[in-house]
Amino acid sequence: MDLGIAGRKAIVCGASKGLGKGCAFALAREGVELTITARGREALTATADEIRRATGAKITPIAADVTTEGGRQAVLAACAEPDILVTNSAGPPAGDFRNWSGEDWMKALNGNMVAHILLIKAVIDGMIGRRFGRIVNITSGAVKSPYPGLGLSNGARAGLTGFVAGLARQVSQHNVTINNLLPGSHETDRLRSLIAGDAKARGIPSEQALAEAKEAETAKRFGTVDEFGAACAFLCSAHAGYIAGQNLLLDGGSYNGTL
């Protein structure tokens, strides 16, 4: 299927590896011109080279922290009028809420809620004016089914989801859509480090914890970043203009609910 977005411009945040990279790759395959970000320059440049070589896409890497105003300005200076925005940033640490200070909470709220909203704010009026916009926020399965031990994520992402639920309904009339992709367990560095932390706490080898986590999945496997990227590309496509304000869970059916 031709997604009808060749020549469109996209900003993909948090794209040097993992889920953001999967999204960048999928959009590049559709002929989208990319501006990708991550804090670490070396990995980001290597990813840009890899995607360029594989797809021939025009791609600009901007080493920047999107949870800071300066970082967002650097990204927007490279791509002031994106047609597509994929928001993404590092997930907050796991732990016991009794140990989290107000500062810990403000950091999580900034990183997983406010930074996403400020990026949306910066680009949405241009999208409305041009009568095309696709915004996809990478959130978490935690939005539907909270993870014990990831309270900072459960809380901050719920805030983003609530805000976006309202805004999405104000802008769909302009062919601007906002949707959230909720990863279940995808085999990325983030997942591996969470599982390694769990293994350490339980005093078992990481490989054993990884195998147990896989076995606990309904699909008996983790998701891949390519699968995740493909879902993102479809939500960004010309065909997805009537999908608005949705929270799409990609978890192989692990969430046990009819709706």
Ligand X SMILES: NC(=O)c1ccc[n+]([C@@H]2O[C@H](COP(=O)([O-])OP(=O)(O)OC[C@H]3O[C@@H](n4cnc5c(N)ncnc54)[C@H](OP(=O)(O)O)[C@@H]3O)[C@@H](O)[C@H]2O)c1
The residues that touch ligand X, with contacts defined as CB under 6 A, are 13-20, 37-40, 43, 65-67, 88-91, 138, 140-141, 183, 185-186, 188-191
Q: Which of these, 128, 115, 130, lies nearest to 72 by C-alpha position? A: 115
Looking at the Cβ atoms of 2 and 207, the one nearer to ligand X is 207
Rounded to a whole number of angstroms, the minimum distance from the CB of residue 129 to ligand X is 27
Rounded to a whole number of angstroms, the minimum distance from the CB of residue 1 to ligand X is 25
Looking at the Cβ atoms of 121 and 130, the one nearer to ligand X is 121
Rounded to a whole number of angstroms, the minimum distance from the CB of residue 72 to ligand X is 9
Q: With beta carbons less than 8 A apart as the criterion, state whether 188 and 225 touch.
A: yes
Looking at the Cβ atoms of 96 and 189, the one nearer to ligand X is 189
Q: With beta carbons less than 8 A apart as the criterion, state whether 252 and 221 touch.
A: yes
Looking at the Cβ atoms of 19 and 113, the one nearer to ligand X is 19
Using the CB atoms, write b or e for 8-46: b if 16+ within 10 Å. bbbbbbbbbbbbbbbbbbbbbbbbbbbbbbbbeeebbee
Q: Which of these, 28, 17, 6, 16, lies nearest to 232 by C-alpha position? A: 28
Rounded to a whole number of angstroms, the minimum distance from the CB of residue 62 to ligand X is 9
Looking at the Cβ atoms of 40 and 205, the one nearer to ligand X is 40
Cβ atoms < 10 Å from Cβ of 211: 12
CA–CA separation, 128 vs 83, rounded Å? 10
Report CA-CA distances (Å) from 242 to 142, 168, 239: 25, 11, 8
Rounded to a whole number of angstroms, the minimum distance from the CB of residue 39 to ligand X is 3
